[in-house]
Amino acid sequence: MRLFVSVAEQRSFSAVARDQRKAQSAVSNGIALLEADLGLSLFDRSSGRQPHLTEAGSVLLEEAREVLRQCERLNGRALSLTRGEEACLRLAQDEAMLFQPVLDSLEALAGQYPLMEVQLSSAAQGDVARKLVERKADLGLLFYHDQIPEALERRVVGSVEMVTVCGVNHPLAKQKYVTCQHLAQFRQLLMSTQTSVYPGSEAASPLVWRADSFYVLAEWLMSGLGWAWLPRHIVQYPTYQQQMVELDSEWTPPALVVELVWRRDEHLGPAARFLAERFAECLQAID
């Protein structure tokens, strides 16, 4: 089944054979055995050098992917059962994650699992997902964006309010009410990563600067370089409170969705599940 998915995605028996370090005949035979088991032809081998999915193969491809995902979940669950309680929990969070819910949930974790080691790392959005993929973290806290590695599972646990802001000396700060036309006249500072964009990061101005950190946007704002949408909890930091102005605008940015993320084949242990539940409760308590 893995060979079937790989050949369908790479459209090459030889490329899959090289990746799997197998003879090409072994890959072809494996696909033929699967076709015999299913009683269907999955590839049209008469259409040229590249294998093309038959109609039946196209229908069964996503089914095969889901079976493989279920196998990964099964293996991960079995592994966690043999391990029992975690000796160490590695948590990776977006650098702009709300501080208090994380602290409160970690305090609860310390009371429930007093002997367990905890490692907390903060990183930009894409780095959190990469730590999980590279097995350098067990659980991730990040803000939803449209692309996430296939190996990861995600669960929505809450949301964070976004507000429209500018620096105190920016021309927009003098406006009692800001229209879309007003915003379009000035540089917009947008949050985005190399591989994805955040919800609400569509351009509202023809002049745009982008960064992968809300804190970079905040520094730009305080320097008068433009206006931006920022999470309310960042705008309320003591360092920024006297340096930014929240704008009364006709454009309301959508909330940032907060997600828990983990590897599908590394089923969450009891401590990780406890921390996930506590964080969700702490986050919802401040809404």
The pTM assigned to this predicted structure is 0.68
* Domains 2-81 and 162-254 are alike in CATH topology: no
**What does CATH list as the number for 2-81?**
1.10.10.10
Q: Give which of 157, 159, 145 is closest to 231, Cα–Cα.
A: 159
What is the rounded CA–CA span in Å between residue 2 and residue 113? 39
Q: Give which of 228, 235, 255 is closest to 172, Cα–Cα.
A: 228
Model confidence at 145, pLDDT cuts 50, 70, 90, reads: confident
For the chain, domain boundaries: 2-81, 87-153+258-285, 162-254
Model confidence at 202, pLDDT cuts 50, 70, 90, reads: low
15: enclosing H helix or E strand = helix 13-20
For residue 174, the model assigns a pLDDT of: 92
Question: For residue 34, how far is the Cα from the chain centroid?
Answer: 34
Model confidence at 13, pLDDT cuts 50, 70, 90, reads: confident
Q: With respect to CATH, is domain 162-254 assigned 3.40.190.290? A: yes
Q: Which residue has the tokens 């969070």?
A: 93
Task: Provide the token pair at 268.
Answer: 């969450």
Write the DSSP string, 197-242: B-TT-S-SSSSEEEES-HHHHHHHHHTTS-EEEEEHHHHTSHHHHT
Residues 6+ apart with CB under 8 A from 21: none
pLDDT in tens, 21-77: 889 889 889 999 999 999 989 988 776 678 888 899 999 999 999 999 888 888 876
Q: Which CATH architecture is the domain 87-153+258-285 placed in?
A: 3-Layer(aba) Sandwich (3.40)
Q: ∠270-123-256 over CA atoms, to 5°?
A: 80
